[in-house]
Structure 1
Amino acid sequence: MKQLVFGFILAVQFLTRIPVPIACPWNKNTSIWAIRSYPFVGVILGSILAVLLYFVEPYLPLGMMALLTISVWVWLTGGLHLDGWMDVADAIGSNAPLERKWEIMKDPIVGSFGHIALLFLLAWKTMFIYNLFESDLPIYSFIFIIALSRLGAVVLLIVLPVAKKQGLAWEWKKNVNRLDGLYAALPVIGIVWFFPDFLYFIPAYIVFIFLFGIWVKVKFKGINGDLLGTAIEGGELWGLVIAWMYFSFVMA
């Protein structure tokens, strides 16, 4: 039980800005439980966002609601995954050989492709959030989107090879297996059980994970931390798109 708690705290400390001033040991067991906790941390982030929106919704116009949502969303994660998104955009935009792409992703300086990719990502997210508020999207939908995006990253970490036997992704991967993916899926299974109307998210994310995994294999031959961050950011945008399509066309 202690290893579970330490692993969960490690996941919160790594994935969020939520202050948890507790020193946790890093070992095989705690790292496994940290990975298993990724989607549950997503549930917590989505719940914080949903509660905030519930209280401010009566007082703000839709445009300000959308901007507040994306601002708090980014703040809660500290922009961690956005950094990976920008690094990958710079690598892809370079059209360089594979080894050079890895060097570009390690470079702490963000290039023009990274800035452009960040701008469009946040713009599209904000636009979809705005339109979803117009469509009376249940605010707890963000719980599904944020949790499933992190579950997708866990699945990709488990099923894809790591690009290099070094770095954070390698440290995470060397101790996990498919059973850990099942543990990680339990929070998502639980919320879908209580809210079966959102079952449509599941096949949509299966498609996303499959396509993103193929793209990673073709372009990079393996996964790393930046690509996992990109999977989370891309998964969140994908979830917003799917929700918008569902509420705009199916429910309409």
Structure 2
Amino acid sequence: MLGTLWTDFITGFQFFTRIPVVSQTEWSLESFGRSVKMLPFIGAIIGLLLGGGAYLLQHYAGAPAHVLAVTLIVAEIIITGGLHCDGFMDTADGIFSGRPKERMLEIMKDSRVGAFGAMAFALLILTKYSFYLDIDPALLPFACFAMAIGGKMGLVVAVTSFPYARPEGLGKMFFQHHDRHALLIAAVLAALLLAPFGVRALGGGAAACIAAVIVGRYVNARLDGLTGDVYGAVNEVAQLAVLLVFCVK
């Protein structure tokens, strides 16, 4: 049991980050699917790195707020390899193209970034930068921690609550093989991780789930399902929802 959980965690962690943990040469689709319930914990590790980095830069380097904001944005992209940003851009290119469903899916599969994707990414970075500047500096490390958990919790909601739009695809292994109770397990895990940081952190987690449902329903109405790219977009929007909660005075 513990061995399976560890394997599932490592599978998910090495897919969603660029942090080398162990040399894993064998992968199974089932392990990818089972890792869905571990996503809040994976987010917590990313959040610890970002929040810990923010605390150190604040208290030991005296970094100005704008430098800190840029550093956090760059650090997150480095840690995750920009995986979700890529999905966010591809989703924007497809969904806002105004084309039929089949053409939207083709556009999203194209490795090139179009005008909608570039504009959406610029707005994403600008919004995240603005939120970082507006959050109370004393709360920023906690906001980073909650943001990473909330983003991954939003991803769990997307995987478990909506159908998959393609007959095949990288994201389908998460949809097809996730545990029956993955959403419940992930929600409990996220709540346990966020609860020590108070009502604001828990509110951010709830806001992330609401944002995931809104984005999921919007895209599902146009594609009759979600894709791996949409999972990445949901993660990014859910993170913004958490940061917005921390911006409220």
State the TM-score, normalizing by the size of structure 2: 0.92
* Pairing 1:8–2:6 present: no
| Alignment-derived partner of residue 92 in structure 1 | 95
Letter of the 1:151 partner, please give it.
Answer: M
Task: Give the alignment partner of residue 222 of structure 1, picking from 199, 221, 225.
Answer: 225
| Alignment-derived partner of residue 102 in structure 1 | 105
Q: Structure 1 pair 3/23, CA: closer, same or farther in 2 (3 Å)?
A: same
Structure 2 residue ranges without an equivalent (≥5): none
| Alignment-derived partner of residue 159 in structure 1 | 161
Secondary structure of residue in 1 paired with 2:167: coil
2:158–2:216 CA contact under 8 A, matched in 1 = yes
CA-to-aligned-CA distance 1:181-222 (integer Å, 9 cap, x gap) = 222223312123322332322442342232122202212210
Could you tell me how far 1:8 is from its partner in structure 2? 0.8
State the TM-score, normalizing by the size of structure 1: 0.91
1:4–1:30 CA contact under 8 A, matched in 2 = no
| Alignment-derived partner of residue 239 in structure 2 | 236
Q: Structure 1 pair 56/202, CA: closer, same or farther in 2 (3 Å)?
A: closer
Could you tell me how far 1:138 is from its partner in structure 2? 4.3
Secondary structure of residue in 2 paired with 1:87: helix
* Pairing 1:38–2:39 present: yes
Letter of the 2:95 partner, please give it.
Answer: I
CA distance in structure 2 between the aligned counterparts of 1:130 and 1:153, rounded to whole angstroms: 25
Structure 1 residue ranges (4+ consecutive) displaced by more than 6 angstroms after TM superposition? none
| Alignment-derived partner of residue 118 in structure 2 | 115
Letter of the 1:153 partner, please give it.
Answer: L
1:43–1:187 CA contact under 8 A, matched in 2 = no
* Pairing 1:129–2:132 present: yes
CA distance in structure 2 between the aligned counterparts of 1:46 and 1:203, rounded to whole angstroms: 17
CA distance in structure 2 between the aligned counterparts of 1:28 and 1:170, rounded to whole angstroms: 9
CA distance in structure 2 between the aligned counterparts of 1:228 and 1:83, rounded to whole angstroms: 11
Identity among equivalent positions (%) equals: 30
Structure 1 residue ranges without an equivalent (≥5): none
CA distance in structure 1 between the aligned counterparts of 2:179 and 2:126, rounded to whole angstroms: 36
Q: Return 83-92 or 194-203, whichever deviates more.
A: 194-203
Q: Structure 1 pair 110/31, CA: closer, same or farther in 2 (3 Å)?
A: same
CA distance in structure 2 between the aligned counterparts of 1:26 and 1:244, rounded to whole angstroms: 40
CA distance in structure 2 between the aligned counterparts of 1:221 and 1:139, rounded to whole angstroms: 38
| Alignment-derived partner of residue 20 in structure 2 | 19
**Map 1:52-91 → 2, pairs under 5 A:** 52-58=53-59, 59-91=62-94
CA distance in structure 2 between the aligned counterparts of 1:118 and 1:26, rounded to whole angstroms: 31
Q: Structure 1 pair 177/20, CA: closer, same or farther in 2 (3 Å)?
A: closer
